[in-house]
Chain A
Amino acid sequence: MAIDVKGVLSPLSAIGTLFEHPRTITYPEVKKEIPRGYRGFHINDLESCIGCANCQEVCMNEAIDMVHPDREYNPKNGSGCVPRIDYGRCCWCSLCTDVCPPSSLKLNNECIHADRDSNNFLYMPKNRKDIS
């Protein structure tokens, strides 16, 4: 039986990669840059949210509750409520932001959340002003 010389020798070319730079990053010392349009946590501009609950209605996972905010909000907010997101249910589809009439609800590129208390997954979107 003939020996497949090329098939035996060509895989040895992989040795060359020993002299290349590693592709991995040393997380958490070095963090990966998250692109601008990433679908991460919600932010809500409380000054323009009108409390219409369109976001709650379109969410098929029932991840959004409308609650009274503990901060100052838009005086034109008809219901006096703003969305609160349950991240145990949210699938980050972003439909809630698509149907927001004043475009106050957005997704931010912040996406890391860890806590011992599962109730902390009920997340009140940060005011857009606070983070910009």
Chain B
Amino acid sequence: MSDLKNTIKIFHGPQHPGITGNMSVELDLLGETIKRAQTHVGYLHRGFEKLVERRTVVQAFTIVCRICVPEPDPNEENFARAVENLTGLEISEKAKYIRTMILEMQRLATQFLWMGGQAGSIGLGLIPQWSVCDRDYMLDLFEELTGGRVYHMYAFPGGVRRDIPDGFLDKLSDLMNYYEKRITVYNNTFFDNTIFKSRAIGVGVVNADEALKNGYVGQTLRACGIKRDVRRDMPYLKYDQLEFDIPTRTEGDVYARALVRRDEMLQSIRILRQIIKQMPKDGEILQKIPKHRKFKLPADDTYVQTESARGAMSYYMAGDGSEKIRRMQVRGPSLVHAYTLLEKLLVDSQLADVAMTMNSLGICPPEIER
């Protein structure tokens, strides 16, 4: 603590444009060098876990998508699958394919948004304009499929709420061709850009032992050489019948995490192309479920996991025989990355690297304060 005598204290966030949401990092600076970092949350507390306990299963379903704004679908999927596990609901093959499709569409949309944040955090202003525009093409498809651009409220216990509109898969196929070309453009302008490389290589290094010990997930884990992905390790929906690779790197720094994300985008395109080919033409999309006051959860509990675009997202859910959820616990990637990891990574790094490091970890503040 004696090192902190000559430091000055600044708050990075919650209004800072480089922060990944409504949270702040309290920094003790010696010149430009960070000597201590403390994460502060509480600007966005909405108490989702408690809200869910006061509502029926059907009513609670509309809340969970708000747990992570840029990435609602893994939450919807976890919620739906947890309720299905508890009540023994079986969903149709078609519904499984549609749910897998929307999860991969969401992964791509989230990675485009991340790319904008990551590039913007080091001053490459062009990339965010492009990537947000490219993400919007996916949002247009979400709008057509689910009726909403950001909050889809689509994966429902028992299946999905709507069937695929006519011509949707063709549009999705065209978009995949477009995205594949765009990733080459992003390679030239962003991933291979010497500015990004010189800023990101060797910064925010995480080692594999530490990552395993502290429960880091997603790209943070895969960028230090550990091949872990819920889609492969504990397959759900149709992932066991789809071919895809799990990209890894060994360097563990910000640049390695970015490259892992880029490679995952290509894998998502590959998965979506398989889904377009394999999608059943007919089939139930939603099983018959009881009316909302009669939709009761048995006195039992379950634990489900989904691989979100930022890492494993887990839900624990317990019922007590009533129409309300007794307890729901959300475990996303953000909490451990924002506290355990970020506070440690920032020590002895430069002030200008805070936003970049934070972006590379996939931190989503509403998920911390669920």
Which residues of A pack against B, CB within 8 Å?
A: 4, 6-8, 10-11, 13-14, 23, 34-39, 57-58, 60, 91-95, 98-99, 107
How distant is B99 from chain A, measured CB to nearest CB, in Å? 18
| Distance of A93 Cα from B187 Cα, bound (Å) | 38
Q: Which residue of A lies closest to B145 (CB)?
A: A37
- Of the candidates A11, A23, A36, A60, the one whose C-beta lies within 8 Å of that of B55 is A60
Say yes or no: A58-B58 contact (C-beta < 8 A), given A6-B192, A99-B292: yes
Q: Which residue of B lies closest to A13 (CB)?
A: B188
Do the beta carbons of A10 and B189 come within 8 Å of each other? yes
Say yes or no: A99-B185 contact (C-beta < 8 A), given A7-B193, A14-B126, A58-B58: no
| Distance of A7 Cα from B189 Cα, bound (Å) | 8
Do the beta carbons of A10 and B193 come within 8 Å of each other? yes
Interface string of B49-93 (1 = CB under 8 A from A): 000000100111011000000000000000000000000000000
Q: Which residue of A lies closest to B144 (CB)?
A: A35
- Given A10-B189, A36-B144, A37-B145: 18 more A-B contacts, CB < 8 Å: A6-B192, A7-B197, A8-B194, A11-B189, A11-B193, A11-B195, A13-B188, A14-B126, A37-B162, A39-B147, A57-B292, A58-B58, A58-B292, A92-B148, A94-B147, A94-B161, A95-B59, A99-B292
- Of the candidates A6, A93, A99, the one whose C-beta lies within 8 Å of that of B153 is A93
Do the beta carbons of B147 and A95 come within 8 Å of each other? no
Say yes or no: A95-B62 contact (C-beta < 8 A), given A4-B194, A8-B194, A60-B55: yes
A-B contact count (CB 8 A): 72
For window 133-184 of chain B, which residues contact chain A by CB distance below 8 Å? 133, 140, 143-148, 151, 153, 161-162, 165
In the complex, whether B291 has a CB less than 8 A from a CB of chain A is yes
- Of the candidates A11, A14, A39, A95, the one whose C-beta lies within 8 Å of that of B148 is A39
| Distance of A90 Cα from B60 Cα, bound (Å) | 15
Do the beta carbons of A7 and B194 come within 8 Å of each other? yes
How distant is A4 from chain B, measured CB to nearest CB, in Å? 4
Taking CB atoms, residues of chain B closer than 8 Å to A14 are: 126, 188-189
Output the residue of B59, B146, B161, B162 with the most chain A CB within 10 A: B59
How distant is B70 from chain A, measured CB to nearest CB, in Å? 18
Do the beta carbons of B188 and A10 come within 8 Å of each other? yes
Do the beta carbons of B143 and A35 come within 8 Å of each other? yes
Taking CB atoms, residues of chain A closer than 8 Å to B143 are: 34-35, 38
Say yes or no: A13-B193 contact (C-beta < 8 A), given A37-B144, A60-B55, A93-B153: no
Taking CB atoms, residues of chain B closer than 8 Å to A6 are: 192
Taking CB atoms, residues of chain B closer than 8 Å to A58 are: 58-59, 292
| Distance of A27 Cα from B312 Cα, bound (Å) | 40
21 A/B residue pairs, CB under 8 Å, sorted by A: A7-B195, A8-B194, A10-B187, A10-B188, A11-B189, A13-B188, A13-B189, A14-B126, A14-B189, A23-B133, A34-B143, A35-B144, A35-B165, A37-B165, A58-B292, A93-B62, A93-B153, A94-B161, A95-B58, A98-B161, A107-B147
Taking CB atoms, residues of chain B closer than 8 Å to A13 are: 185, 188-189
